[in-house]
Amino acid sequence: MPSEFSADRPSDRVHPSAPGLARELASGAIGRREFLARVTGLGLGAGAARALGGLALSASTAAAEIASGIVPGGTLRIQQTVRPLKDPRSYDWSELGNQTRGFLEYLVEYQSDGAFRGMLLERWEANADATRYRLHLRRGVRWNNGDAFTARDVARNIARWCDTTAPGNSMASRLAGLIDPATGQARAGAVRVADTHTVDLALSSPDIAIIANFSDYPAALTHQSYAGGDPFEHGIGTGPFRPVELVPGVRCVLERDTEHAWWGSAVLGGPWLDRVEFLDYGTDPASWAEAAEAGEVDLLYESVGVFIEVMDALGWTRTRADTAATIVIRGHQQAEVDGRRPYAETRARRALALAVDNAICLELGYAGRGGVAANHHVSPIHPAYADIGPAEHDPARALSEMRALGLEDFEHELITVDDEWQRNTGDAVAALMRDAGLRCRRAILPGSTFWENWLGYPFSATQWNHRPLDVQTLALAYRSGAAWNETGFANAEFDALLDQAMSIADADTRRAIMARIETLLRNEGVIIQPYWRALYSHHNGRLVNAQKHPAHEIHLYRIGFAA
């Protein structure tokens, strides 16, 4: 490993770019969230980062740190869809991560203010070009079967994440620099156990998103005896809770592990709860509100649509997170419909985007709760966001282009899941297409049906989670052959630009490349992306540290009942 990583390097030693970022924060050139994401992602501890930037702890973080006003004990009841579990590296829903986060932990935790905090990692370091990382594990951590948690566990998990042959393994798309393309496995020498509590990573190409990807919900760590399947049945983890019961569509239950001391109690505080129940009330928000009014739940996973005001009227406490969560409407470029590929032609895809007014979609689909997007899936929240101007709306030209392609009589079938805001957004897009003279019918599917084939529909809408860095979702969704590439987009120029962006730690320098990426995505008509979502949740007012997380994460060790 390069000499810049000494074995005793302290967690508050700064990356070379950090002082300059602190000056940008002080001048107002960047915001708090961007500053924290950038400096902690490259190895500066969250506390040291806040000190460097002259930042106090946010109210939510401070409360989590000192557990002010929490009375230990009690059962927390959370309204949430309860899904059948599978290998964590193939998780494709935030809810899956929440169901196991109480016992399957992560190397890193993404915090609501934008910082990355070490969990099973005590600290980490990156070299100047983000091709080498050194991971320092927390000492004294044990699995709940008594085994010590060591660097071999981390190396094993990273190797599993690199396995491109594992069905549904999206982690492989996030760790390309560690993978040998010839074998589809971790490259020889890419992951090295330096000692019992240190792992060194040697990437074939720079990647500024490694730490951010370690915090994403498919990156839960499993024990060496785990060989796949339902993690609840396996049951071994390092977290403060233990799995008790899982009935998909009904409930998921965890209880505090009283037989094993949790490493985090001395470091983070908590856990405070005795028991956690995730309760499934279906997909109709009206049933969630009814459960809340009846006192059957304490916390909603998410509050949506008109039911935000309904929950306000019940006297529940509203919390909000501004995010890069979104919805995209896309034609699959490889899909065949009646013997033709209607979305293979760039002009056809661009014509669809010209027909849609994104501001109207935000108003009709999401009641204006968010910001208008620009059809390129990079958010103003992201560190290297480049403002290339709004998406063009020209319905007359949309029809003209379709006529020129002989597609004016083609009937598009826009498929969405049967979810209020996604259904409403799909209805708005279809209406705007019809107003432009294009033919469009709607298909609304129950979630159990929609998500079985979400990658393959010819024309559909999909929700995408917030992710901290601009390059993360781009790599997951638009890189050629990526596990979650639902558009069929395969473009060598885009892939090369993304590789270049992932090599540049400084967001100001990266912004020029990001402008090219955003322009390419929009010029190719890859997606219609109408808006960015503000996320909301409600709780009954008796909870502490239950604020809505921008990535839908529920950190159970933090939450407790107020005195």
Q: 479 and 435, same structural domain?
A: yes
Please state the rounded mean pLDDT for residues 512-523. 98
CATH number at residue 252: 3.40.190.10
172 in any annotated domain = yes
Whether the CB-CB separation of 209 and 475 falls below 8 Å is answered with: yes
- Tell me whether residue 5 is in a domain: no
For residues 308 and 364, membership in a common domain is answered with no
Q: How confident is the model at residue 64 (pLDDT cuts 50, 70, 90)?
A: very low
Statement: residue 30 has pLDDT above 90? no
Same domain, 511 and 488: yes
CATH number at residue 428: 3.10.105.10
* pLDDT at residue 31 greater than cutoff 70: no
∠ Cα 231 175 373 (to 5°): 95
- CATH number at 127 reads 3.90.76.10
Q: Which helix (H) or strand (E) holds 404?
A: helix 395-404
Print the domain residue range for 303. Answer: 231-314+541-562
In a domain, 98, yes or no: no
Q: Is residue 485 in some structural domain?
A: yes
**235 and 132 co-located in one domain:** no
Confidence at residue 63, expressed as pLDDT on a 0 to 100 scale: 39
Q: How far apart are CA 187 and CA 180, in angstroms?
A: 5
In a domain, 80, yes or no: no
Same domain, 40 and 132: yes
Q: Please, are residues 252 and 100 in contact by the beta-carbon 8 Å criterion?
A: no
Domain boundary among 192, 219, 246: 219
200 is a domain residue: yes
Q: Report how many domains make up the chain.
A: 3
42 and 170, same domain (yes or no): yes
**Considering the domain boundaries, does residue 529 fall inside one?**
yes
User: What are the two backbone dihedrals, phi and then psi, of residue 48, each rounded to the nearest 5 degrees?
Assistant: -65, -35
Question: What pTM does this model have?
Answer: 0.88
pLDDT over 80 (residue 67):
no
Q: Would you state the pLDDT for residue 114?
A: 87
pLDDT in tens, 429-474: 999 999 999 999 999 999 889 998 999 999 999 999 999 999 999 9
- 467 shares its domain with 548: no
- Distance in Å from the first CA to the final CA of the chain: 50
- Quote the CA–CA distance of 50 and 58 in Å, as a whole number: 10
Domain identity same for 206 and 257 = no
Q: What would the mean pLDDT of 346-363 be, rounded to a whole number?
A: 98
* Residue-averaged pLDDT of the chain: 91
User: Which H/E stretch holds residue 48?
Assistant: helix 46-52
Same-domain pairing of 440 and 556? no
Q: Is residue 83 part of a domain?
A: no
Which residues share a beta bridge with 303?
Answer: 536
152 with 296, same domain: the answer is no
**Same domain for 136 and 179?**
yes
Are 386 and 509 within one domain?
A: yes
